[in-house]
């Protein structure tokens, strides 16, 4: 594969990133755009100002991005928006399922609504978006789907029952879809970040009283990640260099799960 020259070249590809208005999703969007992809930066309609800011920042660096409103909890709207993206940008070659909802707190106090919203957005949303993207990718001869899971899909953590259940589901859903769609030349993989400095981590620390140092103590490298350190793993799995990888979860957690 190396004779192509530039490694991880996504020139001419159309990439859709969900939950991309901030944090890891924003970093992934920029990284894919720098590699040459035409990126659809998507997030909830009420976050369109932030999503547009991300797309505008990418465009200001002479790369290509557009913002789209997308609620992964609404299956009919997901199909409609991905269809619009395909029509406007020329297809869908790469889907990055990054959108998630997290509910943290005692398992005894977790409400049914918190449980269902976490599972609906974080797990069911991945399936719905993947299914919609696959229907576009199959006639085009294949594609790449990358799901943003978590190291908490591989290990447990206190006060996180709904989130670890959802992210564990994402990892096994990745395997199942990889097997279902291999014959269509669609690869399906996951990236499992460790603790990363994002608004989600900030919200958890605000509600729980935990600190960055508390999370860093569980990381052999001694610190939490920055979003820009997660995005290259997604870029690799989206590239031609990862063409023979499917059903895999690439863990980017500073050694957390190696203990």
CATH label of the domain that carries residue 11: 3.40.50.720
pTM confidence score: 0.94
Q: How confident is the model at residue 197 (pLDDT cuts 50, 70, 90)?
A: confident
From the number of C-beta atoms within 10 Å of its C-beta (0-12, 13-18, 19+), residue 58 rates as buried
What is the domain extent for residue 47? Answer: 2-258
Q: How many CA atoms lie within 13 A of 66 on its CB side?
A: 12
What are the beta bridge partners of residue 188? 145
Among all residues, which ones are annotated catalytic? 163
CA distance 19 to 39: 13
| Across 2-6, 165-169, 176-180, 224-228, least confident range | 2-6
* Strands of 143-148's sheet in order across: 64-69, 38-43, 14-17, 94-97, 143-148, 186-193, 249-252
The contacts of residue 114 (CB under 8 Å, 6+ apart) are 103, 105, 162
pLDDT of 125 > 80? The answer is yes
Count of the separate structural domains present in the chain: 1
Q: How confident is the model at residue 6 (pLDDT cuts 50, 70, 90)?
A: low
Q: How far apart are the first and last CA of the chain?
A: 34
């Amino acid at each position: 594969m190396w004779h192509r020259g530039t490694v991880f070249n996504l020139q001419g590809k159309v990439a859709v990133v969900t939950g991309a208005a901030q944090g890891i999703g924003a970093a992934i969007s920029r990284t894919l755009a720098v590699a040459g992809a035409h990126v659809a930066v998507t997030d909830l309609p009420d976050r369109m100002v932030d999503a547009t800011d991300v797309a505008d920042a990418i465009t200001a660096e002479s790369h290509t991005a557009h913002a789209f409103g997308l609620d992964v909890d609404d299956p009919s709207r997901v199909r409609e928006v991905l269809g619009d993206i395909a029509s406007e940008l020329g297809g869908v070659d790469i889907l990055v399922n990054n959108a998630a909802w997290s509910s943290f707190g005692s398992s005894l106090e977790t409400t049914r609504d918190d449980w269902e919203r976490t599972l609906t957005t974080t797990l069911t949303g991945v399936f719905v978006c993947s299914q919609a993207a696959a229907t576009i990718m199959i006639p085009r001869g294949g594609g790449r789907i990358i799901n943003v899971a978590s190291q908490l899909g591989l290990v447990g953590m206190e006060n996180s029952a709904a989130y670890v259940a959802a992210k564990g589901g994402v990892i096994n859903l990745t395997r199942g879809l990889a097997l279902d769609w291999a014959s269509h030349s669609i690869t399906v993989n996951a990236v499992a970040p460790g603790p990363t400095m994002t608004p989600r981590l900030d919200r958890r620390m605000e509600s729980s009283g935990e600190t960055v140092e508390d999370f860093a103590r569980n990381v052999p490298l001694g610190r939490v990640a920055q979003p820009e350190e997660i995005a290259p793993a997604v870029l690799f799995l989206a590239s031609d260099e990862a063409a023979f990888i499917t059903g895999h979860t690439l863990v980017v957690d500073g050694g957390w799960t190696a203990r």
